[in-house]
């Protein structure tokens, strides 16, 4: 059964109405306008201009209109149907927003500040929401803006979807592009060995030069990104390949960081172990703790395993934070003055130098992950992930394999933790909250679970982008939550899905007669 155009519009309208009101209530309308302003190169001013706010609302209205316009397009779908859907969607969402806007505008006019209960709704944001007009005029403007933009966008999207000319044209161009690449033999060039040498050479040069030129702020940002890449690659082993979700991954990060910190900081144990030794020990202790924690729990079913690891992580964090451990781990205050790297006795602690350390670590872990991925061990992990029972029946010691995967993951997390502590020259219990794990899980999933380039993409998108879009800082976790839900629904394999290697073809291409 097909829903009528009005129904369709009504449903979309209510959804978008709620979204707009929520955005207003959490102050995102102001942030959104600011983001649009930034897009157009406007300088960071405290109050975004009315123009950018209008543009922001128009974009939302157009989105509403586009999603309201009927899909899939059949013969019976007429232009009228699309227009009605869009119009209704705009009208309804606009009306919902207008009513709420009017209420708040009226309250504000009567000098009632809603910030006691809704701290994000400032008088400025109310004024902006109502286009700096009176409550009545403002809400009417809101209504009109939404209706018009939704209707226009519904009509436009009708044309885009129905217009065969456009569809064919774009198909042709992409074909043409592909043809060009093929005919020019670009593919072969790109795949040739020299190309990869050139690529690596350029990458190396860039990686050597960049930390020197872009200043300590970007070194800090990309240092964090690098540490999260390491964490992501580590989690990928146990979760992406072996298929065991570990929510409490941060526990191993904390173990690595604390091991390193306690060995190199003057307080509380007066140890000044060499950076490299402490780093190795941090990795080792984290790996062993992965082994020990894994022993009793790795036979648990997937979701139980996830929750148990969460329990472990919380226990470790609460213990670190408690007074009980103050003598051993410096308690809630954390550990200061953690040592930095030295090479041949020379300190190596400037932000540029440390960036190199992180780059080397990222490359090393990437290399290891790459080597493991399609090895015999890696295949065993993936087999366990897909069907543990059958994997066992083909001779794989599933428990042992999972234990190995968890230990390796934990060791990598230990490395990340040690680097993190060393770079910040500080570590405390709050560095190791559950949100670190959630961040890592998000970036692995968003990038493409089980895929190495996916981890890079995910880390840049989830740790790098928010640094650039500073306005969104407080909305970051909210967006993560939505992102997780949407990814699981639409694209659980992530933006860069993992690909299987082509072994048969590869073997066929190498002249097999020689070695026989």
Partner 1 sequence: MPACIQTKKVSKIFGGLTAVNSVDVVVPENAIASIIGPNGAGKTTLFNCISGYYVPEHGEILFYDMPIQGQPTYEVATMGIARTYQNIRLFGEMTAIENIMVGQYPRFKAGWVDAILSTPRERSEEKQAVEEGRRLLKFVGLEGLGDSLARNLPYGAQRRLEIARALANKPRLLLLDEPTAGMNPQETEKMTHFIRSLRDELGITILLIEHDMRVVMGISDQITVLDYGTKIAEGKPKDIQSNQRVIEAYLGPDVTSLTQKYQLRKKQRYAKS
Partner 2 sequence: MDKPTSTSDQGKLRFGRYVRMFIGIVIGVFLVWRLYDVLVVEHKFGADTWVRFGLSGLILGGMYALIAIGYTLVYGIMFMINFAHGEVMMLGAFGGFFVFEALRFIPAPTLADPKLNFLDAHPIFSVFLAFAVGISISATAGYFLEKIAYRPLRKAPRLILLITAIGASIFLQNLAMLLFGPQRKNVVNPDLLDRGAGWTITVSGNPVLISYTGVFSLVLSAVLMIGLYILVQRTKLGRAMRSVAQDKNTASLMGVDVDDVISKTFIISGSLAGAAGVMWGIHMGLVNHYTGFLPGIKAFTAAVMGGIGNIPGAMLGGMVLGIIEATGPAALGIDFQLKDVIAFSILVLVLILRPSGILGEKLSEEKL
Binding mask 485-504 for partner 2 (x = CB under 8 A): x--xx--x------------
Please, what is the minimum distance in Å from the beta carbon of residue 151 to partner 1? 44
Nearest to 147 by CA among 293, 32, 17, 241: 17
Cα separation values, 265 from 253, 268, 274, 310, 336, Å: 18, 7, 11, 28, 7
Classify strands 426-427 and 335-336 as parallel, antiparallel or unpaired.
Answer: antiparallel
Please, what is the minimum distance in Å from the beta carbon of residue 401 to partner 2? 11
- Find the part of the chain contacting partner 2 (CB under 8 A) among 173-181, 271-279, 319-327, 452-460: 319-327
Strand ranges in 235-387 using DSSP code E only, listed in sequence order: 335-336, 342-343, 346-347
Please, what is the minimum distance in Å from the beta carbon of residue 384 to partner 1? 10
Nearest to 113 by CA among 99, 129, 97, 124: 124
Structure token digits, residue 444: 């692995």
Selection from partner 2, partner 1, none that 477 binds (CB < 5 to 8 A by kind) is: partner 2
Selection from partner 2, partner 1, none that 119 binds (CB < 5 to 8 A by kind) is: partner 2
Give the separation between CA 190 and CA 5, rounded to whole angstroms. Answer: 50
3-state SS class at 101: helix
Chain-centre distance for alpha carbon 101: 33
Selection from partner 2, partner 1, none that 502 binds (CB < 5 to 8 A by kind) is: partner 1
Please, what is the minimum distance in Å from the beta carbon of residue 377 to partner 1? 5
Please, what is the minimum distance in Å from the beta carbon of residue 318 to partner 2? 5
List of residues contacting partner 1 (CB under 8 A): 368, 371-372, 375-380, 382-383, 386-387, 389-398, 404, 408, 500-508, 512, 515
Is 156 among the residues that bind partner 2 (CB under 8 A)?
A: no
**What is the DSSP secondary structure assignment for residue 3, as one 8-state letter?**
P
Cα separation values, 379 from 231, 376, 473, Å: 21, 5, 39
Binding mask 387-426 for partner 2 (x = CB under 8 A): --x--x----xxxx--------------------------
Give the separation between CA 52 and CA 44, rounded to whole angstroms. Answer: 12
Selection from partner 1, partner 2, none that 500 binds (CB < 5 to 8 A by kind) is: partner 1
Is 303 among the residues that bind partner 2 (CB under 8 A)?
A: yes
Give the separation between CA 162 and CA 433, rounded to whole angstroms. Answer: 50
Nearer to partner 1 among residue 26 and residue 496 (C-beta)? 496
Is 478 among the residues that bind partner 2 (CB under 8 A)?
A: yes
Is 324 among the residues that bind partner 2 (CB under 8 A)?
A: yes
Please, what is the minimum distance in Å from the beta carbon of residue 239 to partner 2? 9
Is 299 among the residues that bind partner 2 (CB under 8 A)?
A: yes
Please, what is the minimum distance in Å from the beta carbon of residue 316 to partner 2? 10
| Residue where the block lists tokens 């009315």 | 50
3-state SS class at 494: coil
Is 302 among the residues that bind partner 2 (CB under 8 A)?
A: yes
Is 307 among the residues that bind partner 2 (CB under 8 A)?
A: yes
Give the separation between CA 236 and CA 368, rounded to whole angstroms. Answer: 12
Nearer to partner 2 among residue 202 and residue 482 (C-beta)? 482
Is 301 among the residues that bind partner 2 (CB under 8 A)?
A: yes
Is 126 among the residues that bind partner 2 (CB under 8 A)?
A: no
| Residue where the block lists tokens 């600011």 | 34
Residue selected from 78, 322, 342, 375 as contacting partner 2 according to rule CB under 8 A: 322
Give the separation between CA 284 and CA 410, rounded to whole angstroms. Answer: 9
Classify strands 335-336 and 346-347 as parallel, antiparallel or unpaired.
Answer: unpaired
| Residue where the block lists tokens 């173990």 | 255
Structure token digits, residue 477: 């976790």
Is 112 among the residues that bind partner 2 (CB under 8 A)?
A: no
The helix (run of H) or strand (run of E) holding residue 17 is: helix 5-25
Please, what is the minimum distance in Å from the beta carbon of residue 492 to partner 2? 5
Residue selected from 14, 35, 144, 245 as contacting partner 2 according to rule CB under 8 A: 245
Give the separation between CA 312 and CA 432, rounded to whole angstroms. Answer: 12
Nearer to partner 2 among residue 69 and residue 385 (C-beta)? 385
Q: N- to C-terminal Cα distance for the chain? A: 64
Is 250 among the residues that bind partner 2 (CB under 8 A)?
A: no
Helices (H) and strands (E) in the chain, counts: 23, 4
Tell me the sheet residues that pair with 336: 426
Contact 60, 29 (CB under 8 A): no
Please, what is the minimum distance in Å from the beta carbon of residue 382 to partner 1? 7
- Find the part of the chain contacting partner 2 (CB under 8 A) among 2-10, 58-66, 241-249, 499-507: 241-249
Nearer to partner 1 among residue 130 and residue 380 (C-beta)? 380
Contacts with partner 2, residue ranges (CB under 8 A): 22, 25-27, 117-120, 243, 245, 247, 295-304, 306-308, 310-312, 314-315, 318-319, 321-324, 389, 392, 397-400, 438, 441, 445, 474-475, 477-478, 480-485, 488-489, 492
């Amino acid at each position: 059964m097909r829903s009528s155009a009005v129904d369709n519009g009504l449903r979309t309208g209510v959804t978008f109405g709620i979204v707009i009101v929520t955005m207003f209530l959490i102050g995102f309308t102001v942030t959104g306008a600011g983001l649009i302003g930034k897009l157009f190169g406007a300088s960071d001013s405290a109050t975004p201009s009315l123009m950018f706010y209008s543009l922001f609302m128009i974009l939302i209205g157009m989105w509403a209109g586009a999603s309201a316009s009927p899909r899939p397009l059949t013969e019976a779908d007429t232009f009228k149907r699309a227009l009605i859907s869009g119009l209704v969607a705009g009208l309804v969402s606009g009306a919902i927003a207008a009513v709420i806007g009017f209420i708040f505008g009226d309250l504000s006019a009567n000098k009632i500040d809603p910030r006691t209960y809704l701290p994000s709704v400032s008088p400025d944001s109310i004024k902006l929401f109502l286009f700096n007009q009176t409550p009545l005029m403002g809400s009417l403007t809101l209504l009109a803006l939404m209706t018009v933009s939704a209707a226009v966008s519904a009509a436009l999207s009708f044309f885009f979807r129905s217009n065969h000319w456009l569809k064919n044209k774009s198909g042709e161009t992409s074909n043409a592009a592909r043809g060009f690449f093929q005919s020019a033999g670009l593919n072969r060039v790109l795949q040739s060995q020299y190309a990869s040498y050139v690529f690596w050479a350029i990458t190396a040069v860039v990686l050597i030069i960049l930390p020197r030129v872009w200043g300590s702020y970007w070194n800090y940002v990309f240092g964090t990104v690098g540490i999260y890449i390491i964490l992501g690659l580590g989690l990928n082993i146990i979760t992406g390949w072996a298929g065991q979700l570990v929510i409490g991954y941060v526990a191993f990060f904390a173990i690595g960081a604390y091991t390193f910190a306690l060995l190199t900081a003057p307080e509380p144990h007066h140890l000044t172990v060499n950076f490299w030794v402490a780093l190795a020990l941090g990795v080792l202790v984290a790996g062993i703790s992965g082994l020990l924690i894994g022993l009793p729990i790795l036979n648990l079913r997937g979701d139980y395993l996830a929750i148990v690891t969460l329990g472990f992580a919380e226990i470790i964090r609460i213990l670190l934070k408690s007074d009980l451990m103050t003598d051993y781990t410096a308690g809630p205050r954390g550990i200061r003055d953690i040592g930095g790297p030295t090479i041949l006795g020379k300190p190596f602690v400037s932000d540029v130098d440390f960036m190199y350390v992180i780059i080397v670590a990222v490359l090393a872990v990437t290399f290891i992950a790459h080597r493991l991925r399609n090895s015999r061990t890696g295949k065993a992990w993936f087999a366990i992930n897909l069907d543990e029972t059958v994997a066992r029946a083909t001779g794989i010691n599933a428990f042992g394999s999972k234990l190995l995967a968890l230990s390796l993951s934990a060791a990598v997390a230990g490395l990340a933790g040690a680097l993190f502590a060393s770079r910040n020259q500080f570590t405390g219990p709050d560095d190791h909250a559950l949100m670190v794990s959630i961040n890592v899980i998000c970036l692995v999933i968003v990038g493409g679970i089980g895929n190495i380039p996916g981890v890079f993409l995910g880390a840049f998108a989830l740790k790098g982008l928010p640094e650039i879009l500073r306005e969104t800082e407080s909305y970051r976790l909210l967006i993560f939550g939505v992102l997780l839900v949407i990814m699981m629904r639409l694209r659980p394999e992530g933006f860069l899905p993992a690909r299987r290697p082509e072994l048969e073809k590869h073997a066929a291409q190498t002249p097999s007669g020689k070695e026989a």
